[in-house]
Amino acid sequence: MTIGKSLAKLALAIGLGGMSGATALAADLEFYFPVGVNAPAVETIQALTDAWAAENPEHTVKAVYAGNYEETTTKALTAAQAGNPPQVAVLLSIDIFTLIEEDVVVPFTQVTDAAEDKEWMDGFMEGFMTDAVYNGEIYGIPFQRSTPVFYYNRDAFREAGLDPDDPPKSWTDMIAVGKKLVQKDSNGNVTRWGTRIPTLGLGGAWLFGGLVVSMGDHLSTDTGTEARFDTPAAVASLQFLLDLAAEGVMAPGGITWGDTPKAFIEGQTASMWTSTGNLAFVNKNAEFDWGVAFLPGGEGPGAPIGGGNFYIFKDTDDEERAAALDFVKFMTSPANAAKWSIATGYVAPRDDAWETPEMKAYAEALPAALVAREQVAHAYREFAVFQRQRVTQFLVDAIESTVGGDAEPQAALAEAQVKADEVLSEYQ
């Protein structure tokens, strides 16, 4: 912080103190946030930010939409390395290892000391805290958290003679049900696929992790130093994606993340696997009866947990940290967590948020919102290691080469494993 900035803050604090008896110094906050779903996220973030600012006129806060998750992390790291970081940001929960390695964030457990703060941190769902802690320190506070769910067209189920109240629960069910949902024109061309599971890019890797969880395994360990790509569970999961295409249930080749909700809305697929963050989009745009269920699993239910956490950056003074903490507590309060969840479809990460009158009314009007909350008990953190972006690309390449017909599951994942081990060996 510059001397001029410090003096300006001191002058403002003295002025406010003279008027109201306040003793806290004023802080200027910059808040980076990403958007990764089809929902009015920017508008909602701005409204919540403005509400905090109105309650805390001694501070200023600027909400900066920084792009998607990857873009936001890159911009935040670049700013931090240049000595001008945002004071607070929402970044991928799995970027915890990168942020720690770059030494740019401070644990919340070092910023908070009051008993009420500990109670606040203890109020987040356990499943969402698994990727917020490292070496006993809480680095992230859950905010826009999600898990993918199975969206399906209930009208299409009825047309196919299927029970819309009995969606597929296993991979075997998915293939059997999916075959009945496929529609073709008079020339034999598919006009509606049975399902759509994104397989390309980071979205494909995220969903792939859920397949592995449903087989009783994980793609990485809690230490961030080990990738588990060539396990029997991972091989079986990749084979399942091939089986869906081979059985004519899903389009062959790679499937993109961004186009999937639109394809579902337009009737190009009778079901899809995507984030709960798309609930609001589907609810607003679907002109048919639709439902949501747990992801069909291999040996049982399973899903990855994704989304973003709040982080406080290290190159901040005490006043900025105190203000940033207050801002995060405001944004994650039961009432505001409920507002955020209702507006976007993200899963409110605190049980007390689900007890608010607004959230109860929302869940009653849209029971699909409860599915993701219930599925969290069967979900696990998504793939997260040191050098995440580099190592994740090895997994992305393995998945894409396999669904593209250029490799077999075992060989592709074995190659990814060798590359991952080489990178991660320096952390072991």
Q: pLDDT tens track of the chain, all 428 residues?
A: 433 344 334 333 333 333 333 335 688 999 999 986 665 788 999 999 999 999 999 999 999 999 988 899 999 999 999 999 999 999 999 999 999 999 999 999 999 877 888 899 999 999 999 899 999 999 999 999 999 999 999 999 999 999 999 999 999 999 999 999 999 999 999 999 999 999 999 999 999 999 999 999 999 998 999 999 999 999 999 999 999 999 999 999 999 999 999 999 999 999 999 998 888 899 999 999 999 999 999 999 999 999 999 999 999 999 999 999 999 999 999 999 999 999 888 899 999 999 999 999 999 999 989 999 999 999 999 999 999 999 999 999 999 999 999 999 999 999 999 999 999 999 98
- 176 residue type, one letter: A
* Contact indicator for 322, 27 with CB cutoff of 8 Å: yes
Report the pLDDT value the prediction gives residue 115, as an integer from 0 to 100: 83
On whether the 3-146+306-379 domain is CATH 3.40.190.10, my answer is yes
User: Any idea what DSSP says for residue 295?
Assistant: P
What is the Cα–Cα distance from 45 to 33, expressed in whole angstroms?
Answer: 9
* Contact indicator for 12, 323 with CB cutoff of 8 Å: no
CA–CA–CA angle 271, 396, 228 (5° rounding): 100
Beta bridge partners of 305: 381
* Contact indicator for 404, 253 with CB cutoff of 8 Å: yes
What is the Cα–Cα distance from 139 to 133, expressed in whole angstroms?
Answer: 6
The CA-based diameter of the chain, rounded to the nearest angstrom, is: 81
Answer yes or no: same fold for 3-146+306-379 and 148-304+387-427: yes
With CA atoms as reference, report the closest residue to 289 among 152, 157, 149, 155.
155
Please tell me whether residue 404 adopts helix, strand or coil conformation: coil
* Contact indicator for 383, 416 with CB cutoff of 8 Å: no
- CATH code of the region 148-304+387-427: 3.40.190.10
Using alpha carbons, list the distances in angstroms from residue 301 to 169, 210, 297, 413.
Answer: 8, 9, 5, 23
How many Cα neighbours within 13 Å face the side chain of 327?
33
What is the Cα–Cα distance from 355 to 150, expressed in whole angstroms?
Answer: 25
- List the chain domain ranges: 3-146+306-379, 148-304+387-427
DSSP alpha helix (H) spans, 24-161: 41-55, 69-81, 96-101, 108-111, 115-122, 126-129, 154-159
With CA atoms as reference, report the closest residue to 394 among 251, 208, 196, 223.
208
Length of the chain: 428
Report the pLDDT value the prediction gives residue 41, as an integer from 0 to 100: 83
Structure tokens of 220?
A: 């990485």
- 158 residue type, one letter: R
What is the Cα–Cα distance from 374 to 359, expressed in whole angstroms?
Answer: 15
What is the Cα–Cα distance from 279 to 369, expressed in whole angstroms?
Answer: 8
DSSP alpha helix (H) spans, 82-137: 96-101, 108-111, 115-122, 126-129
CB atoms within 10 A of CB 412: 24
Tokens 């802690």 locate to 133
